[in-house]
Amino acid sequence: MNIVSIGAHQDDIELNCLGTLVKYQQQGGHTFTNVVISNGDKGAQYDPRTPYAEIARIREGEATAVAHGLGGRYVCMGQSDEYIRDTDEARNWVIDVLREAKADLVFAPPPVDYNTDHMVTSQIAFHAVMLAAVKTIFTAHDPLPKTPPLYYMDAVTGLEWQPTHYVDITGVFERKCELIRLHKSQMANMQTSGGWDLVKYSQVVGAFRGIQCGVEYAEGFKPALAWPRVHAGNFLP
């Protein structure tokens, strides 16, 4: 499958979906496109004197390194961090990314989350997934033959969100943590803003979702139950 994962910020896919992507990678035969809407330029709370362009550049490098770790690619729309808008341009940009990747499966943030960037990105993804197959919407690449299934990732810390599907990531958990540590700037940023870092987060939330389904570590998902995004069969590893 061609798997497209969409996040608002450079570490969103990593927090709630990366173990699952590593499992797909181990299966072999899949392609990975990691898509981020914002440029991440507000992500230097550990040193607010850092120029926006500087932290954006650092985060691009970190997210690119993780995508390369999956054998995939990273693309960024570059909207202003914390001010993401659902615009015609944003929809068309995501539509074209889905078309270029020939997406068979899409992950996106849930419609309810702690940050409006996440919620707006969820909305952009929800529309773009369907419109990518609409033949009267024109972008650089040809429409998809069929609307791909859309799976929502977990909300940050799992608040106000109940997954319906779980992926056992116990066997790839160390690899998830190894890749997530590549986000050096965000390891420091989340420590400053939340008192935890990305690895601690993955341990706590992974174990929390794991205990719900009888494994050590899990990631939780919920398919978007809206026509024509629903497909027969299970797409999760």
**Of 2 and 189, which CB lies nearer to Zn ion in the complex structure?**
189
Q: Which residue is nearest to Zn ion (CB)?
A: 9
| Whether the Cβ atoms of residue 142 and residue 99 lie closer than 8 Å to each other | yes
**Of 132 and 155, which CB lies nearer to Zn ion in the complex structure?**
155
Rounded-to-integer distance, Cα 56 and Cα 42, Å: 8
For residue 147, the minimal CB distance to Zn ion (Å) is 25
**Of 26 and 193, which CB lies nearer to Zn ion in the complex structure?**
193
For residue 36, the minimal CB distance to Zn ion (Å) is 9
At position 3, the amino acid (one-letter code) is I
* Binding site residues, Zn ion, CB under 5 A: 8-9, 12
Residue with tokens 């040193």: 47
**Of 43 and 139, which CB lies nearer to Zn ion in the complex structure?**
43
User: Could you tell me how far CA 18 lies from the centroid of its own chain?
Assistant: 8
For residue 41, the minimal CB distance to Zn ion (Å) is 13
For residue 84, the minimal CB distance to Zn ion (Å) is 10
